[in-house]
A and B are shown apart, each in its own frame.
Chain A
Amino acid sequence: AQTVTQSQPEMSVQEAETVTLSCTYDTSENNYYLFWYKQPPSRQMILVIRQEAYKQQNATENRFSVNFQKAAKSFSLKISDSQLGDTAMYFCAFMRPRTDKLIFGTGTRLQVFP
């Protein structure tokens, strides 16, 4: 069975600085999808970024980028130029194709300080 591990329960960063959130996963599949979701205090789940395992290039969305290391089964999220609005819980998630079922990690609470 697939598992997702986020080993950092809490992180903090100063505004405008860069922070990296860690995620590792366990699977025997070769093709799959990985996601980072943001959950602000409003509780709404918001997709931040996604990565297809067959793509070697790391995904980037504006200030958000990932470091995808397939052999190491690692999928970290880098937030550049952190903003106060980035304060939220961040969840890493795994999906095996043709199942569309997401498996979530336990989350990392990120606090951005002015």
Chain B
Amino acid sequence: NAGVTQTPKFRILKIGQSMTLQCTQDMNHNYMYWYRQDPGMGLKLIYYSVGAGITDKGEVPNGYNVSRSTTEDFPLRLELAAPSQTSVYFCASSYDGGSSSYEQYFGPGTRLTVT
């Protein structure tokens, strides 16, 4: 049981380039999330999904896109990378079982630098 996996672990992008951050979970969780963590700050929600085919914006969605074609995968797309997108990106998932603990399980993060 791998939990939540993210690839790549590190990436350096040039301004204007695009890339996709991959996220996969094997816990059959309905809910998935993307957060970013800027230096010295807490995590902020970029996008989330409550199930395959359903996505919605979080606090800081500008410059990003997501899709959710399967329960397991929730990729995050950066178009036209900017220095302001330099951050650590975390994917998370949770079970929406109502009486569940609402615990979110996090991946190990992707450190992205845009220069």
Contact = CB atoms under 8 A, between A and B. Distances in A.
Interface of A: 4, 33, 42-45, 47, 50, 91, 93, 95, 97, 100-102, 104-107
8 contacts: A4-B42, A43-B108, A43-B109, A93-B42, A101-B58, A102-B33, A104-B42, A107-B42
Nearest to A47: B103
Interface in B27-52: 31, 33, 35, 40-45, 48, 50
B106 A102 contact: no
A107 B41 CA distance: 7
Given A43-B88, A91-B43, A106-B41, A101 B103 contact: no
Q: Which of A33, A43, A91 counts the most B-chain CB atoms under 10 A from its CB?
A: A43
B43 A104 contact: yes
What's the dominant secondary structure at chain B's contact region? strand
Contacts, number: 49
A95 B102 contact: yes
Contacts of A101: 33, 45, 48, 58
Interface of B: 31, 33, 35, 40-45, 48, 50, 58, 88, 90, 92, 94, 96, 101-104, 106, 108-109
A44 B35 CA distance: 13
Contacts of A95: 102
Given A45-B90, A97-B102, A104-B43, 18 more contacts: A43-B88, A50-B102, A50-B103, A91-B42, A91-B43, A95-B102, A100-B94, A100-B96, A100-B102, A100-B104, A101-B48, A102-B35, A102-B43, A102-B45, A104-B42, A104-B44, A107-B41, A107-B42
A105 B35 CA distance: 13
A47 B103 CA distance: 8
A106 B31 contact: no
Contacts of B102: 33, 50, 95, 97, 100
